[in-house]
Amino acid sequence: VSIAPVEVERPEVHELPAADTPWVTIVWNDPVNTMSYVTFVFQTYFGHPKQKAERLMRDVHEKGRAVVSAGSREAMERDTEAMHGYGLWATFRKDD
């Protein structure tokens, strides 16, 4: 038994390499779509529970926009297109 400090192996925190930086989908606030509709779309499309969908909706409403999904560019293009189908104004971009 030693009282010397034990060398603890710390798990390394892996930073995502730049090439894998995910893309994000952003939904922007607009004066037409109602809060209940936006919440319902988030519940339906993303499968969020009502509370989470409402929190996202409030972010959109109060902050002017919210990141609603993150992932590959292809997936974000799909989400953006789906949001446009629902009449929400979405954009996608590389997450900085």
Partner 1 sequence: MGLLHFGERPFTGHRRSVQVHLDGQERAVLVQLLTQLDDLLDDGRAPATDPLAELLGLCDLSGSDAFATPTAPPEDPAVARLLPEANRDDPQLATEFRRLTEIGLRARKRSGARDAAASLQRPDPVQLTTDEAWTLLKAITDLRLVLGERLELRSDPDAELLHRRLLGGDAPDEWLATASIYEVLTVWQESLVAAMSRRRS
For partner 1, the binding residues (CB under 8 A) are 29-34, 36-37, 40, 43-44, 77, 80-81, 84-87, 89-93
- For the record, the structure tokens of 15 come out as 């930073």
Smallest gap from Cβ 40 to partner 1, in A, equals: 5
Residue 16: partners with Cβ closer than 8 Å, 6 or more residues away: 22
CB of 32 to partner 1, least distance (A): 4
Between 40 and 46, CB nearer to partner 1: 40
Q: What are the angstrom distances between the C-alpha of 96 and each of 24, 27, 49?
A: 10, 17, 28
Residue with smaller CB distance to partner 1, 16 or 25: 25
Helix axes 35-46, 50-63, angle to 10 degrees: 130
Least spacing, CB of residue 67 vs partner 1, in Å: 14
Supply the DSSP symbol for 86. T
Closer residue to partner 1, CB minimum distance, 69 or 92:
92
